[in-house]
Amino acid sequence: MYELRTERLYLRAWKPSDRARFAAMNADPRVMEHFEAPLTAGETDALLQRIAQQFEADGFGLWAVEIPGVTSFAGFIGLYRPNFDAHFTPCVEIGWRLAAEFWSRGYATEGAREAMRFGFETVGLEEIVSITVPGNQRSRRVMEKLGMTRSPEDDFDHPRVPEGSTLRRHVLYRLRATQVGHARVESEGR
């Protein structure tokens, strides 16, 4: 599988030792403010399983984030394929989730920029999208810093969120490879 490095971050394969800290951040109401509820330990395990399956299938996915000299595990940043149907699927989405103590230092944007470069140049994706609830200003700010743009006509009701929930409405941000001058530059295997 692929691993990525930036000036400050190492986006790496998951280790068994990440599990407890990942469960702790998924149980933190600050981290999960824009989701239906914090995750139980069992839900974190199910998520880890889905992440592992995707790496197996694609060679890339939601990488574990290590910040050398700071922490061996801060959360995840990466690319994944949403497993629901919507007007923009199938697609590859870029996503991020960091423990609250590491927020607002530019880490999500730095890691996502490299994941995006990888997606366009190595995978050869033509477009990468990102979704969130309208109120997740931190996440939307990261999308905007990456050069992604949102059109109100792309807003949608997330099929996995129950009808009537205030978290059902989502905004969609898109970025096309041609908008950032990326092109596929290599096509090595895994």
User: Would you tell me which residues interact with ligand COA (CB under 6 A)?
Assistant: 31, 34, 96-98, 103-109, 132, 136-139, 141-142
Nearer to ligand COA, 62 or 177 (CB): 62
CA dihedral 8, 13, 16, 19 (to 10 degrees): 60
Q: How far is CA 145 from CA 78, 106, 111, in A?
A: 16, 10, 12
The least CB distance from residue 42 to ligand COA, in Å, is 20
Q: How far apart are CA 77 and CA 109, in angstroms?
A: 9
The least CB distance from residue 186 to ligand COA, in Å, is 27
Nearer to ligand COA, 124 or 158 (CB): 158
Nearer to ligand COA, 89 or 124 (CB): 89
Q: Is the bond preceding 152 in cis, omega lying within 30 degrees of 0?
A: no
Nearer to ligand COA, 142 or 148 (CB): 142
The least CB distance from residue 17 to ligand COA, in Å, is 20
Nearer to ligand COA, 38 or 124 (CB): 38
The least CB distance from residue 18 to ligand COA, in Å, is 15
Q: How far is CA 127 from CA 13, 170, 175, in A?
A: 24, 19, 6
The least CB distance from residue 22 to ligand COA, in Å, is 12
